[in-house]
Chain A
Amino acid sequence: MTHGLWNLRVKIDGEMILDVDPEMGYLHRGIEKISEDRHYNEVITLMDRCCYVAGFSWEHLYILSAEEALGIRPPERAEYLRVLCDEFQRIGSHLMWYAAFVQDIGLMSPFLYGMRDRDLVLDLFQSFTGARMTYEYMRVGGVRNDVPSGFTDQCRKVLNWLTDRFVEYDQLCLGSTIFRERCDGLGLLKAQDCVAHGVTGPMLRSAGVRRDLRKDRPYSAYDRVDFDVAVADGADVTARYLVRMEEMRQSIRILNQVVDWLDRHPGPVLADRLPRWLGAPYAPIGNEGYLLKRNYPKGVGFSAVEEPHGEAQAYTVNDGGEHPYRVKFRSPVFANISAARQYLIGYHVADIPPIMGSVDVCVGEVDR
Chain B
Amino acid sequence: MEPDDIARQLAPKLGDGLLSVEPFPGTAGRVRFRPEKALDLFRSVRDDLHFGHLSMVGGIDWVDHREVFYVAWSDEAKQYVFLSTDVPANAAHIETASSIWPSANWHEREAWEMVDITFDHHPDLRHLLMPDGYTFHPLLRSFKLHEPEELEVKSRRV
Binding site for B on A (CB under 8 A): 24-25, 28, 30, 32-34, 37, 68, 195-198, 200, 209, 211, 216-217, 282, 287-293, 300, 302-304, 311, 313, 315, 317, 325-326, 328, 330, 334-335, 338-339, 367-368
Report whether A330 and B24 are in contact in the complex, using a CB–CB cutoff of 8 Å: no
Residues of A within 8 A of B12 (CB): none
Across the A-B interface, give the 10 residue pairs with the lowest CB-CB distance, nearest first: A198-B103, A25-B129, A330-B56, A338-B106, A328-B58, A28-B129, A289-B155, A216-B78, A290-B158, A326-B60
Report whether A30 and B138 are in contact in the complex, using a CB–CB cutoff of 8 Å: yes
Please report the total number of B residues contacting A with Cβ < 8 Å. Answer: 41
Contact of A34 among B26, B71, B78, B145 (CB under 8 A): B145
| Residue B32 is within 8 A (CB to CB) of chain A in the complex | no
Cα of A198 to Cα of B101 in the assembled complex, Å: 9
**In the complex where A34-B145, A287-B153, A315-B58 touch, is A196 in contact with B158 (Cβ < 8 A)?**
no
Contact of B69 among A287, A315, A334, A335 (CB under 8 A): A315
Residues of B within 8 A of A282 (CB): 155
Minimum CB–CB distance from A245 to chain B (whole Å) comes to 25
Report whether B138 and A293 are in contact in the complex, using a CB–CB cutoff of 8 Å: no
CB closest residue in chain B, given A209 = B75
| Residue B17 is within 8 A (CB to CB) of chain A in the complex | no
Binding site for A on B (CB under 8 A): 24-27, 52-56, 58, 60-61, 69, 71, 75, 78-80, 82, 101-103, 105-107, 114, 127-131, 138-139, 143, 145, 153-158
Report whether B102 and A196 are in contact in the complex, using a CB–CB cutoff of 8 Å: yes
Contact of A302 among B52, B71, B103, B138 (CB under 8 A): B71
Report whether A196 and B103 are in contact in the complex, using a CB–CB cutoff of 8 Å: yes
Report whether A25 and B157 are in contact in the complex, using a CB–CB cutoff of 8 Å: no
Report whether B71 and A197 are in contact in the complex, using a CB–CB cutoff of 8 Å: no
Contact of A198 among B26, B54, B61, B157 (CB under 8 A): B54
Cα of A39 to Cα of B119 in the assembled complex, Å: 33
Report whether B128 and A37 are in contact in the complex, using a CB–CB cutoff of 8 Å: no
Could you list 7 further interchain pairs (A-B, Cβ under 8 angstroms) beyond the known A30-B138, A313-B55, A334-B106? A68-B26, A195-B75, A198-B101, A302-B27, A302-B80, A330-B107, A338-B106
CB closest residue in chain A, given B72 = A198
Report whether B139 and A195 are in contact in the complex, using a CB–CB cutoff of 8 Å: no
Contact of B154 among A288, A304, A317 (CB under 8 A): A288
Residues of B within 8 A of A315 (CB): 56, 58, 69, 71
Report whether B55 and A311 are in contact in the complex, using a CB–CB cutoff of 8 Å: yes
